[in-house]
Amino acid sequence: MSTPLADPALAERPSTLSRLAHLAPMLALTFTTGVVDAVGYLGLDRVFTGNMTGNVVILGMALAGADNLPIAGPSLALAAFMVGAIVSGRVLRAAGTGWSRRTTTMFAVVATLVALTGVLAAVDGHPAAPIALTITGGLAFAMGLQAAAARHLSVADVTTVVVTSTITGLAADSWFGLRTGQRWPRRVLAIALIAAGAFAGALLLRVHLSAGLFTAAVLITAATVFGHAVTARDGRRLAAAEAAEA
């Protein structure tokens, strides 16, 4: 015969913690994408390492010979981003839904790669073309890993790398549009955070090319540790609730 839980709300608490463990890190990673993209566009010859839509547009204009836009950087970023997304998808294919050890591993790798590109950038604030392309490729690969891992977590309206769909949903579902219920706080936060990240990245470039990259690496690490820790706590609470019911 099962005994009632001492705290009836205990069984519901893990799900709340799980949602927090997913949403908060994704919002933090959205901010870091803004930082990284600002560094890429302003410091690495007008290339985005997280926003691939921007690279596709730049590449299209560059192929037409417009405004001496770069071809090599956006092309490399696109390829590296796709390879990163493939690797992340492959690793997470066997992982269950929600945050797992493999998710933690993916984000930890992202933080490490961003930190390593920061080390390369620290050697020279104005790196030669081969080093700049290496930094671009490393960052784009890392952002591909991150984007695929975020997609696996499926946090609505927060992809960490683009906000076009978020802006569309915010406007279309608003009182002036469909007037349907929406998660407007997280949508507004996602939009604001990627803009704030770009603002911070531009300011950090005044310090050094590597400053934004090291800042992003620290924030990605913090988001990863938080997500892993809260998920582990969630698991312990769920186990306690199940044991109390037995």
pLDDT in tens, 100-151: 889 999 999 999 999 999 999 998 878 888 999 999 999 999 999 999 999 8
- Calculate the CA 169 to chain-centre distance: 19
Least confident of 34-48, 122-136, 163-177: 163-177
pLDDT tens-digit series, residues 52-62: 999 999 999 99
Residue extents of the structural domains in the chain: 12-245
Assigned architecture for domain 12-245: Up-down Bundle (1.20)
The pLDDT, as a whole number, for residue 13 is 45
**How many C-beta atoms lie closer than 10 Å to residue 164's C-beta?**
11
Over residues 40-58, mean pLDDT:
92
Query: How far is it, in rounded angstroms, from Cα 135 to Cα 120?
Result: 7
In degrees and rounded to multiples of 5, residue 73 shows phi and psi of -60, -55
CA-to-CA separations, 14 to 39, 44, 150, in angstroms, rounded: 38, 43, 20
pTM of the entire predicted model: 0.85
- The pLDDT of 194-206, averaged and rounded, is 96
Residues contacting 33, CB < 8 A, separation 6+:
50, 51, 143, 146, 160, 161, 194, 197
Provide the H-helix boundaries in 96-128. Answer: 101-123
